[in-house]
Amino acid sequence: MSSERAEGGAPSSARASVTTGALARHLGVSPTTLRSWDRRYGVGPATRADGAHRRWTPKDIAVLEEMCRLTASGVAPAEAARTARNAGTPPSGTRPPAAAHPDPTPADIRRARRGLVRAAVRLDSPAVDHLLYATIERHGLVLAWEELMVPALHAVGRKWESSGDRYVEVEHLLSWHVQTALRRVTPATAATDPAPAAPVLLACVPGEQHSLALDALTAALSERGHPFRMFGSAVPVPALTAAVRRIGPSAVVLWSQARSTASVPLAQHVSSTRWGVKGARGRPAMILAGPGWAGQPVKGARRPLLLHEALTALTGLSARSTPTAATPDPP
């Protein structure tokens, strides 16, 4: 039993040493990469078993974990190897130093994306947090979502689908950290709506449980100071209609991940919902978001495909909205 766990599970200080294959799975890199780092940067095992097979001790593993954190943050491998060898094991939960790159190059994005996936595969929460928060802080929410978070989530999903459900825990961990990072952005301006702009109402259609993309949009709106009301997953039709009448939003964003949840009659019903007194009634613009709406056009509705497209559309609608002309219905 213990030998099986050493091969298939994550290495830990309780084990004397592990094989290159087991360590590679733990770190989220290939065995070839570990051998290359050994030859090129001298971060190999301190001792070798009979037959020159590499056996990695807890101290060796700590050095490589730190090297992975540093390279994921944009540090060059040679420099990361020197720092990792000299630093040893960092305090638990310590984040690696952030490299300042105000204008990321495609290589920077690829490196960060690869580092995020590898950190998720080895279930390294501090490294995942560092990469997410550092990218948002340096480059903003939109770039972090479109160039880092979404591609990393897709990569982990493909790894799960192609490995017989072996990486379900990786997808759950990464999704949770992405959602946490997005919601950490949201409270920055959400508490104080910059009146007089009417808010944006965001909701998943009935039966739709996937709300992560809406979390990204609310965070992006919050980052720019635009008011919103987020209702989350699977909002019932009566509740959605009541919210529209009570809030008087400039726009309603309906998210559908799967075609089975997208409903053209629902979108038409919501877009025709009116509020206010006779002679000064208003109704919202309709934004249909998510792959579920593909091939299901709704007259007058916009269908942005990317976060920055949705943000541009909503910013324009919010700027033109005049909530004083149509007062929302009272509760």
For the chain, the helix, strand and coil percentages under 3-state DSSP, each to the nearest 5: 55, 10, 40
- Distance between CA 234 and CA 213 in Å, rounded? 14
Cis bond before residue 196 (omega within 30° of 0): yes
39 φ/ψ sector (left φ>0, alpha ψ -120 to 50, else beta):
alpha
Asked whether the predicted pLDDT for residue 323 surpasses 70, the reply is no
CA distances to 115, 156, 166, 208 from 162, in Å: 20, 10, 9, 25
The pLDDT tens digits of the residues spanning 223-241 come to 888 889 999 999 999 999 9
| Structural domains of the chain ordered from first start | 1-90 (1.10.1660.10), 98-185 (1.10.1240.10), 191-325 (3.40.50.280)
At residue 215 the predicted structure's pLDDT band, cuts being 50, 70 and 90, is: very high
The pLDDT tens digits of the residues spanning 257-272 come to 999 999 999 999 999 9
pTM of this prediction exceeds 0.85: no
Residues 192-218 as b/e (b if ≥16 CB within 10 A, e otherwise) read eeeeebbbbbbbbbbebebbbbbbbbb
CA distances to 139, 241, 252, 290, 310 from 214, in Å: 20, 19, 12, 9, 11
Asked whether the predicted pLDDT for residue 30 surpasses 50, the reply is yes
